[in-house]
């Protein structure tokens, strides 16, 4: 319960949240500790762990290492059922609402129950929307779904709202890791305007300006992975 309650509280207080995404496939185990120390000294508020292709053991070992070094909440952002580990503080239980692949709408979620039943992991129901971004990203390939075009902004808004009315606790607007274009300010504003639940935005954010634009447009939390992987001094840039 705790992780989601805190996100809601911080949203009420208008405190903006920043999650650093660590992809177990890209993070070398020997580099993890140093990276987490950088996160601890940064403005980041949460750590997400997940990727499109990683396996359980990699995720579990990495989460255990991260937890030993930080007080920040560590949240699973799984690309697949095999990445669920009880070592984390919470799990984003994602349903890919932008696509029409039943496996990623409900199939994987059903498969996950056998694992979740054995764990006492906080589960946060999250409506996940993949938005057009300028190139094909991993999410698109893995899930065999198309992102929602910018031109269909009303459909994006309606899809997010449908997720909320289905009882989801978060909406995540995703441009895809390494996206050329992050989710536009206009789309964020339009979605935010109709949403009561907290809004997460991620994919392709690689400057302080883009981060601030996402916040001022209405993102309660922004997720950044690639920009920190490529350049750890980006942590310091955000403080300035």
Query: Which positions touch ligand 1GP (CB under 6 A)?
Result: 21, 174, 177-179, 202-205, 223-227
* Helices and strands: H and E segment counts in the chain: 11, 8
Q: How far is the CB of 209 from ligand 1GP (least distance, A)?
A: 15
Nearer to ligand 1GP, 156 or 227 (CB): 227
Task: Report, in Å, the least distance between residue 134 CB and ligand 1GP.
Answer: 12
| Minimum CB distance to ligand 1GP, residue 112 (Å) | 18
Provide the 10 A C-beta neighbour count for residue 231: 12
Rounded to the nearest whole angstrom, what is the least distance from the CB of residue 114 to ligand 1GP in the complex?
25
Taking the least distance from each CB to ligand 1GP, the nearer of 66 and 224 is 224
- Phi then psi for 17, rounded to 5 degrees? -110, 145
Are 95 and 168 a contacting pair, CB within 8 Å?
yes
If the CB atoms of residues 84 and 114 are measured against ligand 1GP, the closer one turns out to be 84
Query: Is residue 49 within 8 Å of 62, Cβ to Cβ?
Result: yes
Using the minimum distance from each CB to ligand 1GP, give the nearer residue, 132 or 174.
174
Residue in 87, 80, 72 with CA at minimum distance from that of residue 120: 87
Query: Rounded to the nearest whole angstrom, what is the least distance from the CB of residue 21 to ligand 1GP in the complex?
Result: 5
Question: What CA–CA distance (Å, rounded) separates 82 from 57?
Answer: 9
Nearer to ligand 1GP, 75 or 179 (CB): 179
Q: Are 128 and 93 in contact (CB under 8 A)?
A: no
Residue closer to ligand 1GP (CB basis): 98 or 226: 226
Among residues 153, 162, 213, the alpha carbon closest in space to that of 185 is found at: 213
| Minimum gap (Å) between residue 71 Cβ and ligand 1GP | 22
DSSP summary character for residue 51: -
């Amino acid at each position: 319960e705790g992780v989601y309650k805190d996100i809601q509280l911080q949203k009420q207080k208008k405190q903006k949240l920043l999650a650093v995404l660590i992809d177990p496939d890209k993070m070398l185990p020997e580099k993890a500790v140093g990276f987490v120390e950088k996160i601890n000294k940064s403005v980041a508020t949460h750590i997400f762990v997940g990727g499109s292709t990683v396996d359980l053991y990699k995720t579990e070992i990495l989460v255990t290492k991260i937890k030993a070094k930080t007080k920040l909440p560590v949240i699973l952002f799984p690309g697949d059922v095999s990445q669920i580990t009880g070592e984390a503080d919470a799990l984003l239980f994602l349903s890919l609402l932008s696509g029409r692949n039943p496996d990623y709408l409900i199939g994987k979620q059903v498969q996950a129950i056998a694992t979740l039943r054995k764990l006492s992991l906080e589960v946060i129901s999250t409506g996940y929307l993949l938005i057009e971004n300028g190139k094909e990203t991993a999410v698109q390939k893995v899930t065999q779904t198309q992102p929602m075009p910018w031109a269909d902004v009303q459909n994006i808004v309606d899809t997010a709202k449908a997720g909320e009315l289905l009882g989801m606790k978060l909406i995540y607007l995703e441009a895809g890791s390494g996206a050329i274009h992050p989710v536009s300010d206009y789309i964020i504003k339009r979605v935010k305007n109709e949403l009561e639940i907290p809004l997460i935005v991620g994919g392709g954010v690689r400057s302080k300006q883009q981060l601030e634009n996402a916040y001022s447009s209405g993102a309660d939390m922004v997720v950044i992975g690639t920009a920190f992987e490529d350049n750890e001094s980006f942590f310091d840039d955000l403080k300035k």
